Amino acid sequence: MHAAAMAAYAVPFPNVLKSHGLSDWAFLAVSTGSIASFISPMFAASLADRRIAPERLLAALTFLSGSLLALVHASVHFHWGPQWFLGLMMAYALSNAPGFSLVTSIVLSRLSDARREFAPIRVWATWGWMAASFIVSRCLHLDQSPIAGYIGAAIFLAESLFCLSLKPTHPPPGRAPRRWRDVMGWDALPLLRHPDHRLIFLTSAAFSAVMSTLYVHTVPHLSAGGDPTPAATMSLAQLCEGIAMLGISGLLLRFRIKWLLIAGLSLGILRYLLLATDYRPAMIASVALHGPLFVLFYMTSQIYLELRIDPAIRAQSQALLSIMNNGIGNLSGYLAIELWHRHCLLPDGATNWPRFWSYLAAAATLLTTAFATLYRGQPRSPHHPNPSNPA
pLDDT in tens, 91-137: 999 999 888 888 888 888 888 888 788 888 888 888 888 888 888 87
The answer to whether 331 touches 34, Cβ cutoff 8 Å, is yes
Computed on alpha carbons and rounded to an integer, the radius of gyration of the chain in Å comes to 21
* Residues in Cβ contact with 384 at an 8 Å cutoff, skipping those fewer than 6 apart: none
Q: Looking at the predicted structure, is the pLDDT value of residue 186 above 70?
A: no
What is the spatial distance between Cα 234 and Cα 10, in angstroms, rounded to a whole number? 14
Domains of the chain plus CATH, in order, are: 1-166 (1.20.1250.20), 186-377 (1.20.1250.20)
Question: What pLDDT shows up at residue 134?
Answer: 81
What is the spatial distance between Cα 71 and Cα 89, in angstroms, rounded to a whole number? 9
Alpha carbon separation from 156 to 4, 34, 273 (Å, rounded): 9, 20, 38
Highest mean pLDDT among 24-38, 40-54, 164-178, 338-352: 338-352
What is the spatial distance between Cα 172 and Cα 62, in angstroms, rounded to a whole number? 24
- Across residues 69-75, what is the average pLDDT? 97
- Across residues 24-53, what is the average pLDDT? 79
What is the spatial distance between Cα 373 and Cα 262, in angstroms, rounded to a whole number? 10
Task: Indicate the pTM of the whole model.
Answer: 0.75
Phi/psi of residue 345, each to 5°?
-80, 140
Nearest to 62, CA basis, from 195, 152, 128, 173: 152
- In tens, the pLDDT along 347-387 reads 988 899 999 999 999 999 999 999 999 998 776 544 444 44
Alpha carbon separation from 72 to 269, 283, 292, 297 (Å, rounded): 37, 35, 33, 33
Phi/psi of residue 228, each to 5°?
-75, -20
Residue 175 CB burial class (10 angstroms; 0-12, 13-18, ≥19): middle
What is the spatial distance between Cα 54 and Cα 300, in angstroms, rounded to a whole number? 22
Question: What pLDDT shows up at residue 164?
Answer: 94
Q: Looking at the predicted structure, is the pLDDT value of residue 82 above 90?
A: yes
Q: Looking at the predicted structure, is the pLDDT value of residue 293 above 50?
A: yes
DSSP output for 302-341? HHHHHHHS-GGGHHHHHHHHHIIIIIIIHHHHHHHHHHHH
- Across residues 66-87, what is the average pLDDT? 96
Please state at what angle helix 230-254 crosses helix 280-294, rounded to 10 degrees: 40
- In tens, the pLDDT along 245-270 reads 888 888 888 899 999 999 999 999 99
The neighbouring-strand residues paired with 287 are none
The answer to whether 295 touches 248, Cβ cutoff 8 Å, is yes
Share of the chain above pLDDT 90, in %: 39
- Across residues 322-334, what is the average pLDDT? 85
- In tens, the pLDDT along 215-229 reads 678 878 888 888 877
The region of weakest confidence among 125-139, 179-193, 300-314 is 179-193
